[in-house]
């Protein structure tokens, strides 16, 4: 089953899987962080269960002048030990359909340059590399 986490319990139940991708977030910080991002920028958390949470995705819908309305996948992770079983792909496909249902023109995501397995996954899902994403750390 795939659902959007709307309750505190649903959000918190996503933590263990999300922490595999975002280990810097402490358990007690996760719920307030997700709620703050939801309030500030429309962040949503979706999850796939098969007896337990197997995969988690964080996304938001927004607009850019350059391409119109889009869904941005900010986080996508399957539980370790459960990877290559199709959970991540199923959740990715759900996000694509969700974007279509919300009249988005594109699905976008940023993937760290060293996440080669993720790059292979996204290319297999017919995503194109269209830009370089630049970052400037202001708190070093």
* pLDDT tens-digit readout, 64-100: 999 999 999 999 999 999 888 999 999 999 999 999 9
Q: Note the pLDDT of residue 9.
A: 98
Q: How far is CA 26 from the centre of its chain?
A: 18
pTM of full prediction above 0.85: yes
User: What's the topology of domain 2-124?
Assistant: Aminopeptidase (3.40.630)
What does the alpha-carbon distance between residue 39 and residue 42 come to, in Å, rounded to a whole number? 6
**pLDDT for residue 140 is more than 80:** no
Instruction: Spell out the residues 6+ positions from residue 112 whose beta carbon is closer than 8 angstroms to its own.
Output: 118
Q: How far is CA 126 from the centre of its chain?
A: 17
Number of H helices, E strands in the chain: 5, 5
Q: What percentage of the chain has pLDDT greater than the value 90? A: 83
């Amino acid at each position: 089953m795939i659902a959007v986490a709307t309750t505190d319990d649903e959000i918190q139940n996503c933590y263990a899987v999300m922490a595999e991708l975002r280990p810097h977030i402490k358990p007690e910080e996760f719920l307030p962080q997700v709620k703050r991002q939801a309030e500030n920028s429309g962040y949503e958390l979706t999850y796939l269960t098969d007896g337990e949470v197997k995969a988690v995705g964080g996304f938001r819908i927004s607009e850019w002048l350059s391409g119109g309305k889009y869904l941005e996948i900010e986080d996508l992770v399957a539980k370790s030990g459960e990877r290559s079983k199709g959970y991540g792909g199923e959740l990715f496909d759900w996000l694509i359909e969700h974007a279509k249902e919300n009249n988005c023109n594109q699905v976008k995501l940023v993937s760290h340059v060293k996440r080669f397995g993720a790059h292979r996954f996204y290319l297999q899902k017919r995503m194109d590399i269209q830009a370089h994403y630049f970052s400037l750390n202001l708190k070093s």
